[in-house]
């Protein structure tokens, strides 16, 4: 498949870089989709404990999507079969839910994308099974804060390079590394659309942000080197040096004077210290 994930009949303006400009109805659609994705990540949080399997977490997520009358964007996406990606420890992203149980001290990212009335809400955050060790805690904190360093750049007139630069500068100042092999993406009535939202780069480069653009920012940060490899299952991406990796993701819209985060946690559980 090339280009956009689905053919549709978008009626609005598209920039020269292929980025769609959405109107108020788009913001309303994204707000609803983002809220559901965030609520599901809130509601799964109490289940993340040593001894639970990642496939049990995924099944609970699938049930929540169905109970809400929504659709999972990932089931059937390029052959993927699950309602979530669950990436444990040195898994960078796209971890496949499995019968393996979590053990004390495991850190994991859970990534959920739902479709509500045709709009896509995509968000992920970190969880801890049991007790969090110091190094993992620092990785999670830096990754969380790196996402917000990027989000704070978002307003009309800034560039995508400004976002990447803010994230990279912050992560590297903390002696960690930004994954280059995966990026954020435009979304809206499609899952993955232009632009590629890089989590590294140079200030002032890339497309200029305009009101009405919708995209994700989803930095992956490693304690060791940035290189990744994809396992034989063709999904699971891991750090080559087996170092610990973390990720947080929000879906965002550009407003007249800044940004709206569509996937804010309704009960304040975005950061794993909610416990």
Binding site for ligand MF3 (CB under 6 A): 74, 77-78, 80, 85, 94, 111, 113, 122, 216, 218, 235, 249
Binding flags for Co ion, 215-254, as an x/- string (CB under 5 A): -x--------------------------------x-----
- Closer to Co ion by CB, 216 or 236: give it: 216
| DSSP H or E run through 150 | helix 134-151
- Closer to Co ion by CB, 149 or 199: give it: 199
Across the strands, what pairs with 72?
114
Q: How far is the CB of 74 from ligand MF3 (least distance, A)?
A: 3
Task: Pull the structure tokens for residue 261.
Answer: 């985060």
77 binds, options Co ion, ligand MF3, none, Cβ within 5 to 8 A by partner type: ligand MF3
- Closer to ligand MF3 by CB, 72 or 132: give it: 72
SS3 call for 214: strand
**Cα–Cα distance measured from residue 225 to residue 69, given in angstroms and rounded to the nearest whole number:** 42
251 binds, options Co ion, ligand MF3, none, Cβ within 5 to 8 A by partner type: none
Q: How far is the CB of 111 from Co ion (least distance, A)?
A: 4
Q: Helices 24-44 and 54-67, interaxial angle, to 10°?
A: 140
Half-sphere exposure of 196 (CA within 13 A, CB side): 10
Handedness of CA 182, 188, 193, 199 (dihedral sign): negative
The candidate with the shortest Cα–Cα distance to 74, out of 181, 187, 180, is 187
94 binds, options ligand MF3, Co ion, none, Cβ within 5 to 8 A by partner type: ligand MF3
Pick from 58, 106, 122, 162 the residue near Co ion by CB under 5 A.
122
Q: How far is the CB of 14 from Co ion (least distance, A)?
A: 20
Asked whether position 263 contacts Co ion by CB under 5 A, the answer is no
Q: How far is the CB of 175 from Co ion (least distance, A)?
A: 26
- Closer to ligand MF3 by CB, 132 or 143: give it: 143
Is the bond preceding 226 in cis, omega lying within 30 degrees of 0? no
- Closer to Co ion by CB, 41 or 225: give it: 41
**Cα–Cα distance measured from residue 35 to residue 31, given in angstroms and rounded to the nearest whole number:** 6
**Cα–Cα distance measured from residue 6 to residue 155, given in angstroms and rounded to the nearest whole number:** 28
- Closer to Co ion by CB, 11 or 216: give it: 216
Handedness of CA 41, 42, 44, 45 (dihedral sign): positive
The footprint of Co ion (CB under 5 A) covers: 111, 122, 124, 216, 249
């Amino acid at each position: 498949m090339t280009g956009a994930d689905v053919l549709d009949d978008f009626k609005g303006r598209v920039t020269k870089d292929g980025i769609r400009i959405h109107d108020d109805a788009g913001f309303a659609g994204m707000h609803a989709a983002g809220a559901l994705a965030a609520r599901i990540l809130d509601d799964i949080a109490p289940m993340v404990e040593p001894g639970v399997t990642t496939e049990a977490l995924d099944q609970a997520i699938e049930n929540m999507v169905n109970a809400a009358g929504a659709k999972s964007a990932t089931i059937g996406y390029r052959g993927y079969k699950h309602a979530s990606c669950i990436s444990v420890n040195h898994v960078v992203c796209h971890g496949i839910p499995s019968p393996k149980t979590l053990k004390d001290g495991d850190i994991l990212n859970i990534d959920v994308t739902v479709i509500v009335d045709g709009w896509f809400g995509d968000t992920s955050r970190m969880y801890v099974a049991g007790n969090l060790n110091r190094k993992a805690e620092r990785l999670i904190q830096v990754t969380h804060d790196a996402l917000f360093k990027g989000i704070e750049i978002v307003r009309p007139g800034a560039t995508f390079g400004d976002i990447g630069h803010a994230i990279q500068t912050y992560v590297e100042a903390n002696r960690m590394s930004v994954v280059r092999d995966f990026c954020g993406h435009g979304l809206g009535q499609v899952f993955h659309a232009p632009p590629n939202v890089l989590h590294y780069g140079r200030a002032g480069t890339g497309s200029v942000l305009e009101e009405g653009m919708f995209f994700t920012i989803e930095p992956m940060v490693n304690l060791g080197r940035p290189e990744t490899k994809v396992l034989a299952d063709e999904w699971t991406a891991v750090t080559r040096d087996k170092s610990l990796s973390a990720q947080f993701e929000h879906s965002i819209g550009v407003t007249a004077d800044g940004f709206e985060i569509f996937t804010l946690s309704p009960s304040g559980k975005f950061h794993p210290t909610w416990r």
